[in-house]
């Protein structure tokens, strides 16, 4: 019986660890609409050099601002926050998404096509 309880506790803990930090995807059209209506804060995790070359409009440079992210995010903890990185195979977006989640944001999503997908769509880019 003790072994069964230990196993179930371990299984519950593993499930909780794997479930934590999972973020829903946002589609390209949904992200564009949210940007157009000024209803999203977008976080770019591709690094400052890439950020200067081009980014999704209105994005925050996570590398340059991770220490002051709380100042740059909206006061409303239910506001839409979207993190992205290079492409659909990149998982670096999780750094920003987890940081926002740790700050108490409850509506954090992932733009999985990343910068490559944004460029491929022909959508406008911001450049420094």
Query: How high is the pLDDT of residue 1?
Result: 52
Sorted by where each starts, the structural domains of the chain and their CATH numbers stand as: 22-121 (3.40.250.10)
Closest CA to 15 of 5, 23, 7, 24: 7
Question: What is the mean pLDDT of the segment spanning 106-115?
Answer: 98
Among the ranges given (16-30, 54-68, 75-89, 108-122), the one the predictor scored with the smallest mean pLDDT: 16-30
Question: What is the mean pLDDT of the segment spanning 3-25?
Answer: 51
Question: pLDDT digit string (tens) for 20-74?
Answer: 468 999 999 999 999 999 999 999 999 999 999 999 999 999 999 999 999 999 9
C-alpha to C-alpha distances, 55 to 2, 15, 45, 106, 125, nearest whole angstrom:
54, 35, 10, 24, 5
């Amino acid at each position: 019986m003790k072994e069964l309880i230990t196993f179930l506790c371990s299984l519950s803990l593993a499930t909780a660890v794997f479930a934590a930090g999972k973020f829903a995807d946002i589609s390209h059209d949904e992200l564009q609409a949210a940007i157009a209506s000024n209803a999203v804060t977008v976080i770019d995790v591709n690094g400052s050099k890439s950020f200067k070359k081009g980014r999704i409009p209105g994005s925050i440079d996570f590398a340059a601002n991770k220490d002051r992210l709380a100042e740059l995010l909206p006061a409303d903890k239910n506001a839409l926050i979207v993190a992205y990185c290079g492409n659909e195979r990149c998982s670096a977006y999780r750094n920003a998404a987890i940081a926002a989640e740790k700050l108490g944001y409850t509506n954090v999503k992932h733009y999985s096509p990343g910068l490559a997908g944004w460029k491929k769509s022909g959508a406008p880019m911001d450049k420094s």
